[in-house]
Amino acid sequence: MQTSNSNIDSPPVSAAIGEMQKPLDAIMCKESGQETVRNGVSYRQRQLVEEKANIIQSNTSPRQFSSSIWRLPTEILSQIFLYCLPEDEECLSPIRRQAPLLLTGICRRWREVAVDLPSLWCTLQLTADNNWYRRARFYDSWLKRSAGRPLSLTLECLSDLSEPRSLLQEYSSQISSLRLEFFDYLGPFMMEDFHALKELTIQNYGFDRKGDINRSLSKLPVNLRRLNMPDQMFSRRRLNFFSDSAWAHLTHLEINIQGLDAFPRILHLCPKLSYVTVLGIFDPIQNPEPITHTNLQTLRMYGDALSHPDGDLGLFNVITLPNLRVVETRHIGKWPHEEFKEFLMRSKCPLESLRFGSAVWTTDQQREEYVTLLPSLELTVDPDSSFDISEFLEELY
């Protein structure tokens, strides 16, 4: 039996390997016991050699062992293999010490089962660097084993992306989730023809001087619904780079904004948006342009509590959301109570849940007014939401 050099932590695997080793150890002990009389028992030696050869041969066919793990049906073994996949990784790194590659090095049957199980090969983390040509064949082999199933991929971008895109283009009909991690910028990653793509995440770990990320986002696949950009800072000016149709199909968006003037532009770019998370610095509205958005149902706002201590955002004076059902806020600072109350009355929305998270400062009277206005409202307040840092600083100094 051929085993990998990796540590195998699974008790059933270790037990099975130990059981397979016992007959070999027994034969070796017999050989040792016969060492002193080897010349007189050549016939017995031949017998031992034959027994050892039979055991080695049986190791290549584990079905012959009585151990229950080797007699498991392929369907059950496949389910066990799926439980071996790391739970804390969105996309699998091709490491031989963990599944699925580990499973291909235990024995012939396990390799056959693992290679023929497409669900093991549907996620992968790829690295586009100067060694891409050495890895490309391995990546291609991995992805082929997915056998047409939907793929969830992460691409680390450290060099030119033309060759990685060429490889992934072959699987564009399968890639449903893609995460692009930009470390260096040598051109955009265009994905307009990735028609199966439904979720895209972009992480930025460098400085995009040439606007490669903007160009990557300028033409998105028509079936893309979720776009996550938690560390991308978008001002109103930057959002104006995109045509009105560039993000028209999005229904879920996570975005980091610079100033609340960017928010009405987001609603204009995404008429089908139903769920949005906005993070960043919420400088008050400077250009009040009223906008009504009929599809937005969930609004999550995570801001900077120190950026506007007076609580005057201006945002709720310009937006109308008649279908809004959930609002969650954190780190907003002083909550614009009157502004928000007028927004609710103007929108006539069926708000079901309102949550004031940490560092959102409201009073008991203000919260009671919301419940009076919307009797069925589920209002949640974090314990530290009433902490007013401006009052604390005044007392301190």
Residue 173 near residue 201 (C-beta atoms within 8 A): no
The pLDDT, as a whole number, for residue 310 is 60
Kind and range of the H or E element at 298? strand 298-302
Sheet strand arrangement including 353-356 = 123-128, 151-157, 175-182, 199-204, 226-234, 252-258, 275-281, 298-302, 326-330, 353-356, 378-381
Burial of 25 (0-12, 13-18, 19+ CB in 10 A): exposed
Q: Please enumerate in sequence order all residues whose Cβ is within 8 A of that of 340, keeping only pairs 6 or more positions apart, or say none.
A: 316
Distance CA(206)–CA(209), nearest Å, equals 9
Residue 185 burial (CB count, 10 A): 19
Residue 165 near residue 189 (C-beta atoms within 8 A): yes
Residue 36 has pLDDT above 80, yes or no: no
Q: What is the mean pLDDT of residues 306-323?
A: 82
pLDDT tens across 157-205, in order?
Answer: 888 888 899 999 999 999 999 999 988 766 788 888 899 999 999 988 8
Name residue, tokens 């609710």.
344
Query: Mean pLDDT in the chain?
Result: 82
State the pTM of this model. Answer: 0.77
pLDDT tens across 77-113, in order?
Answer: 999 999 988 886 666 778 888 889 999 988 889 999 9
